[in-house]
Amino acid sequence: MRIEQTILSNLIYTEDYMRRVLPFLKPEYFSDQVESVLFKEIDDFIAKYNGLPTKETLLIELNKKENIPEQVYENLTVYVNDISFEKKDMQWLIDSTEEFCQERAVYNAIMESISIIEGRSKTADKGGIPTILADALGVSFDDHIGHDFLENADERYEFYNAVEDRIPFDIDYLNLITKGGLPKKTLNVLLAGTGVGKTLAMCHMAAANLLDGKNVLYITLEMAEERIAERIDSNLLNIPLDELKGFPKQIYDDKIVKLKKKTGGKIIVKEYPTATVGSGHFRHLLNELSMKKNFSADIIYIDYINLCQSTRLKFGANVNSYSYIKAVAEELRGLAVEKNVPIVSATQLNRTGFTNSDPGLEDTSESFALPATVDFMCALVSTEEMEQLGQIMVKQLKNRYNDPTLHKRFVVGVDRAKMRLFNVENSAQKDIMDDKPVMDKSNFGQRYDEEEKMKWMTKKAGRKDFSALFSN
């Protein structure tokens, strides 16, 4: 008996087996058309009725299908009537089914990759092949069935009190709102208009990471490698950007030597043409850096996310911009999880956001595709008054690391000549921050509701009875 027959038979006769393996089986794993159609019918029946079908119910349901060719229907009838049941060892069944799923997933991935290489795929391109193969190789039956809240309380307590490994900032308020820096396996995005300081901010953070001894990978899709490197040079060497050209070579070399002594980290800057690469290419780069330079990134910067390509989808292949950008974001976040690093990127304000001095999530380019996926998102805002003061306002838009209503807005200093951000005196925050929760009024990120209002007013009044505050 073929393994396919054994699987289909036990999906009908063995409920424990069905519950265990059904989530991992797919119709495309069955190469025989009759078996693929039959599996789909079994799957549909279980999903609808939450129980095992009989041979009789399957035959009745199949007879209702008008889209099944006559010959296929006749073969299905014979196949179903011939199904027999022979009890087998449960663990052997599960192990054999897992092996079947793995083999079929790899085979299908290889065939899909060949189709892409030959130009026959309408939805994917060559950049998606590494992801397709990685997904297939990752097929496995997960034995973990969930966290038992009461029984696993000790594990939770240890988790709460463990020191999480984060990549810290050198800006006090950024550390404060993230509880010490960026956690690993996260996607973080800066939102700003053109010329406000997205690249400046990322170059500054990359420089700070280097001084902290971290290995940094900076991927640029907009500027040349040399342009990014000179901005990092200006920051680290304390040399104005426009003075780097013609700067005395000996003094420059001395500063580089001193810098090497300050850190055990590295910065790799890699340029790609705009909109030609995605997570699959970045994964390959990381593997190459590991093999050829013994370089393992602690944090990755991508300048910027809207210029990335999806490895799963072809741009314009019956896919709207929301779905496309969301796919890009999901792939990058997946890469962050796989490589155990935080990824930092940036995005543009949309048209309405360019004239908004207090942007919200609704001002994000490509609408809500990014906010729906990222772990942390903040806007950088600059006005003429702030520029005169040498400041940029930072506004939290989404924060999975802390309460986003705390220190929702604050200012940091900016030295554009030397590509630097810096802490400012607390007095500079006077007109920006207050002790009242400042809420995002956008439809997507709105948090200013009665509950939050009550919390704040109760805190101010020193009361425990919320209702008394609204009795009038």
- For residue range 290-311, list pLDDT tens digits in order: 988 999 999 999 988 888 888 7
Lowest mean pLDDT among 148-152, 294-298, 427-431: 427-431
- Full set of structural domains in the chain with CATH: 3-137 (1.10.860.10), 166-433 (3.40.50.300)
CA distance to 26, 46, 53, 327, per residue, from 50 (Å)? 18, 5, 9, 32
**pLDDT tens sequence across 366-393:** 656 788 889 999 999 888 888 999 999 9
Chain Cα centroid distance, residue 120: 29
Structure tokens, 116: 């892409």
| Ramachandran area for residue 137 (φ above 0: left; ψ -120 to 50: alpha; else beta) | alpha
Residue 9 has pLDDT above 90, yes or no: yes
pLDDT-based confidence at residue 88 (cuts at 50, 70, 90): confident
Residue 421 has pLDDT above 90, yes or no: yes
Instruction: Pick the more confident residue, 178 or 471.
Output: 178
In angstroms, rounded to a whole number, what is the distance separating the alpha carbons of residues 121 and 317?
10
pLDDT-based confidence at residue 142 (cuts at 50, 70, 90): low
In angstroms, rounded to a whole number, what is the distance separating the alpha carbons of residues 433 and 455?
18
Q: What rounded mean pLDDT belongs to the chain?
A: 84
Contact (Cβ atoms closer than 8 angstroms) between residue 390 and residue 415: yes
Angle between helices 33-49 and 70-82 (to 10 degrees): 70
